[in-house]
Amino acid sequence: MNNIFKKVEDILSQAGIEEYKAEAKYIILNASNQTLEDIILSNSIQNEEKILKIAQKRAATKAPIQHILGYSIFMDDKYITDKNVLIPRDETQILIEQSIGLIKEKDNINILEIGVGSAIISTQIAKYLKNNNKTFEILAVDISLEALKIALQNILNLDLEKKVLVRKSDIYSKIRPFEKFDLIVSNPPYIPYNEKNNLDDIVKNYDPEIALFAANNGLEFYEKIISDAPKYLKKSGFIAFELGINQSKRVQKLLEKDFKDIKITADLAGIERTITAKLI
């Protein structure tokens, strides 16, 4: 049994994969459909052939493991993940927690997510509100029809189709003037175009460009979303963003015109990751 751990680790490390131990464990647990406890207690591993095939594919192609498996695990849920959506990042959990904190005392809650991608943000907020018996609806938009198709599958898999609705929209282009929200949340594209060459190969080659890059030194989407947000927010509504590295001060400046109670939250690495604010 230990042998398969060693075999998978060898395959990955020989291919130069840095986090080969963690990845070997990830591949084995996912492809065997067992927990570590199951494996230890039963002293056996299922699907050994499948495990080796996945490890070999990872080593040969260097494609991200989420694309090879066809899904990501995010906050304990499975999300279909392919070339059309950003691979979920752990740090996005901070934006989800901050967003929930802003609206959890309200009722009849309407939320707009801009740039839904795989739908991790909308569905995790929806799960929380549903578990807490709140009345709410989330409208989740994206400019990419391919991303919206994946989002919808993920929403259906989590039984949230009555709570999270998807729509193709270029930021606010298909939001009607009478639609008003308690919260606008977004993890927008925020990487400046001139940083393209400094990116990790996996990000550069496998995440969709449309999910990554923004004009104006990475600020394009913050500027556009913030400037029209007052039109679509209810009285005292909130806005919440994930931030790129070193963007907090500039986004704070953009918010200061129409928003108050600006709060910046850092991730575990100390990077200022989210900014939230309340409409004045």
Ligand X SMILES: C[S@@+](CC[C@H](N)C(=O)[O-])C[C@H]1O[C@@H](n2cnc3c(N)ncnc32)[C@H](O)[C@@H]1O
- Residue 3's H or E segment, with its range, is helix 2-14
Stretch that binds ligand X, among 12-20, 21-29, 187-195, 269-277 (CB under 6 A): 187-195
Q: What one-letter code names the amino acid at 10?
A: D
Q: How far is the CB of 146 from ligand X (least distance, A)?
A: 8
Give me the least distance between CB of 86 and ligand X, in Å please.
4
Contact stretch for ligand X (CB under 6 A) within 98-106, 118-126, 254-262, 271-279? 118-126
Smallest distance from ligand X to CB 214, Å: 8
Beta carbon nearer to ligand X, 141 or 251: 141
Handedness of CA 158, 127, 132, 234 (dihedral sign): negative
Determine the Cα–Cα distance for residues 84 and 136; give it in Å rounded to an integer. Answer: 28
Least separation in angstroms between residue 9's CB and ligand X is 29
- Strand partners of residue 225: none
Q: Under rule CB under 6 A, how many of the chain's residues touch ligand X?
A: 22
Residue choice 39, 80, 103, 211 for contact with ligand X (CB under 6 A): 211
Query: 220-248 as b/e, with b when 16 or more CB fall inside 10 Å?
Result: bbbebbbeebeebbeeebbbbbbbbeebb
Amino acid at 92: T
Decide: helix, strand or coil at residue 133: coil
Q: What's the gap between Cα 195 and its chain centre? A: 21
The letter for the amino acid at 72 is S
Residue 189 binds to ligand X (criterion: CB under 6 A): yes
The stretch near ligand X (CB under 6 A) out of 37-45, 110-118, 126-134, 272-280 is 110-118
Residue 218 makes contact with ligand X by CB under 6 A: no
Does 118 participate in binding ligand X (rule CB under 6 A)?
yes
Round to whole Å and give the CA distance between 106 and 276: 17
152 belongs to the binding site for ligand X (CB under 6 A): no
Q: Which of 114, 129, 166, 255 binds ligand X (CB under 6 A)?
A: 114
Instruction: Check if the beta carbon of residue 128 is closer than 8 Å to that of residue 100.
Output: yes
Contact between 166 and ligand X by CB under 6 A: the answer reads no
Contacting residue, 15, 94, 143, 264, with ligand X by CB under 6 A: 143
Q: Judged by CB under 6 A, does residue 141 bind ligand X?
A: yes
Give min distance, CB of 79 to ligand X, in A.
9
Residue 32 C-beta: closest distance to ligand X, Å: 27
Phi, psi of 140 (to 5 degrees): -120, 120
Contact indicator for 270, 243 with CB cutoff of 8 Å: no
Contacting residue, 110, 144, 154, 248, with ligand X by CB under 6 A: 144
* β 136-142/164-168 pair status: parallel
Residues between 31 and 50 with contacts to ligand X, criterion CB under 6 A: none
CA distance 122 to 160: 10
**80 makes contact with ligand X (CB under 6 A):** no
> Which residues make up the interface to ligand X (CB under 6 A)?
86, 88, 92, 114-118, 120-121, 141-144, 147, 170-171, 187-189, 210-211
